[in-house]
């Protein structure tokens, strides 16, 4: 049963304050026949970078929001769910992460979560799109919270695959925070068996890689999530799939971690261990993640485990998802 909501006008009063005069909506397809319409209260930026259409908007439901190529990337009201979920399970499962690599992560919030770890000595973030990163620096202060000023952070504007290929120095944690692996998108090569094999060679002993892995609700778990899990498993062995709910994405969102044969299991971390490490390693408290939340994230419902078990697709450079 649905909660009764007080009725909401589509358009605010024209005689009221500023927000009243805005009749703009961000209308985004979540899947065929399903639109999420979000009322815009202010357009902060609308333009085109060298790589993608870029908007920064304030919305009634989600606050300050980054939109790339017409799709919400992260919003003020729930980016902390996404970024804690992406970063903290692997960082806290790792024995002592010092060097961390981020592919993508333009908003600076992924770096923020990494740099919250006092033990981190170096974080290298490689994002393709300098213009978007500059816009995020200026307009998303609640996302990055000053992370770009941390001397431990190096931001490079380059291709993440090329960077890893050309720089053999190993990392303790690799974090892949780029668009989903649909053919034609800029980022599918970061989801292939070949990439995971190369990435493994850039992990220091005990190292772990984690990747955002797309939607994983009852209606969309096989879109990309199950295939990424199968592919990581083929390249790296045991995986730790987990998920959280992200309101502005309109669905459950999946993440998958995996490591070298001797690396610690992310899914297998105990609540006690997590809470102890949160208490000693971090310079600021978390809002979503702790030992209890961890069990909620990794304890998957039956249908989701079944979908993972049934998956047979392995993504390769030559056979991306959705190739015809």
- Which parts of 90-109 interact with its own copies (CB under 8 A)? 104
Quick one: CA dihedral 8, 14, 20, 23, positive or negative?
positive
Q: In whole angstroms, how close is the CB of 205 to its own copies at the nearest point?
A: 29
Q: In whole angstroms, how close is the CB of 285 to its own copies at the nearest point?
A: 9
Record the tokens describing residue 305, joined without a space: 């485990």
C-alpha span between 174 and 260 (Å, rounded)? 12
Q: In whole angstroms, how close is the CB of 293 to its own copies at the nearest point?
A: 4
Q: Is 11 in the site for its own copies (CB under 8 A)?
A: yes
Those residues whose C-beta lies under 8 Å from the C-beta of residue 13, and which sit 6 or more positions away, are: 20
Q: In whole angstroms, how close is the CB of 297 to its own copies at the nearest point?
A: 8
Set 177, 262, 290, 317: catalytic member? 177
- Cβ proximity to its own copies: between 99 and 111 the closer is 111
Q: In whole angstroms, how close is the CB of 12 to its own copies at the nearest point?
A: 6
Q: How far is the CA of 18 from the CAs of 27, 40, 63, 139, 306, in angstroms?
A: 21, 12, 16, 20, 50
Instruction: Map residue 196 onto helix, strand or coil.
Output: helix
Record the tokens describing residue 56, joined without a space: 């920064």
C-alpha span between 149 and 131 (Å, rounded)? 17
**Rg of the chain, C-alpha, whole Å:** 20
Residue of 119, 170, 206, 247 that binds its own copies (CB under 8 A): 247
- Cβ proximity to its own copies: between 95 and 292 the closer is 292
- Which parts of 54-73 interact with its own copies (CB under 8 A)? 54-55, 59-62, 67-73
Residue of 168, 261, 283, 302 that binds its own copies (CB under 8 A): 302
Residue 127: active-site member: no
- Cβ proximity to its own copies: between 97 and 214 the closer is 214
- Cβ proximity to its own copies: between 121 and 322 the closer is 322
The DSSP output letter for 247 is G
Q: How far is the CA of 311 from the CAs of 222, 227, 258, 304, in angstroms?
A: 8, 6, 17, 11
Site string for its own copies, 272-301 (x = CB under 8 A): --------------xxxxx-xxxxxxxxxx
- Cβ proximity to its own copies: between 6 and 168 the closer is 6
Q: Is 146 in the site for its own copies (CB under 8 A)?
A: no
Question: Phi/psi class of residue 250: alpha, beta or left (left: φ > 0; alpha: ψ in -120 to 50)?
Answer: left
C-alpha span between 301 and 272 (Å, rounded)? 23
Q: Is 177 in the site for its own copies (CB under 8 A)?
A: yes
- Which parts of 37-56 interact with its own copies (CB under 8 A)? 37-43, 46, 48, 52-55
- Cβ proximity to its own copies: between 95 and 310 the closer is 310
Record the tokens describing residue 281, joined without a space: 């390693």
Record the tokens describing residue 116, joined without a space: 């919250």
Record the tokens describing residue 2, joined without a space: 């649905």
Q: Which residues pair with 242 in a beta bridge?
A: 255
Q: Is 217 in the site for its own copies (CB under 8 A)?
A: yes
Q: Is 144 in the site for its own copies (CB under 8 A)?
A: no
Binding-site size, its own copies (CB under 8 A): 104
Residue of 134, 142, 167, 185 that binds its own copies (CB under 8 A): 185
Catalytic residues: 177
């Amino acid at each position: 049963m649905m909660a009764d909501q007080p009725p909401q006008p589509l358009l605010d009063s024209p005689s009221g304050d500023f927000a009243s005069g805005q009749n703009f909506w961000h209308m985004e397809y979540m899947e065929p026949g399903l639109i999420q319409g979000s009322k815009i209260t202010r357009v902060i930026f609308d333009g085109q970078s060298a790589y993608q259409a870029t908007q920064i908007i304030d919305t009634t439901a989600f606050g300050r929001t980054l939109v790339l190529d017409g799709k919400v990337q992260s919003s003020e009201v729930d980016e902390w769910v996404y970024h804690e979920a992406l970063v903290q399970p692997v960082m806290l499962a790792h024995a002592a992460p010092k060097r961390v690599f981020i592919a993508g992560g333009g908003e600076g919030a992924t770096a923020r979560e990494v740099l919250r770890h006092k033990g981190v000595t170096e974080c290298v973030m490689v994002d393709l799109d300098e213009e978007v990163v500059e816009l995020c620096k200026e307009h998303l202060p609640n996302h990055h919270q000053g992370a770009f000023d941390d001397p431990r952070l190096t931001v490079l504007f380059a291709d993440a695959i090329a960077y890893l290929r050309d720089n053999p120095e190993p990392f303790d944690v690799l974090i892949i925070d780029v668009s989903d692996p649909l053919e034609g998108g800029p980022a599918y090569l970061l989801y292939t068996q070949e990439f995971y094999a190369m990435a493994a060679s850039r992990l220091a002993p005990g190292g772990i890689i984690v990747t955002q892995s797309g939607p994983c609700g009852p209606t969309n778990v096989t879109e990309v999530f199950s295939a990424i899990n199968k592919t990581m498993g083929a390249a790296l062995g045991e995986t730790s799939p987990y998920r959280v709910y992200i309101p502005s994405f309109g669905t459950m969102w999946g993440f998958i971690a995996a490591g070298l044969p001797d690396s610690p299991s992310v899914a297998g971390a105990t609540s006690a261990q997590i809470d102890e490490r949160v208490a000693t390693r971090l310079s600021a408290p978390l809002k979503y993640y702790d030992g209890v939340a961890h069990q909620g994230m990794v304890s998957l419902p039956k249908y989701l485990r079944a979908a993972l078990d049934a998956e047979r697709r392995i993504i390769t450079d030559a056979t991306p998802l959705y190739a015809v």
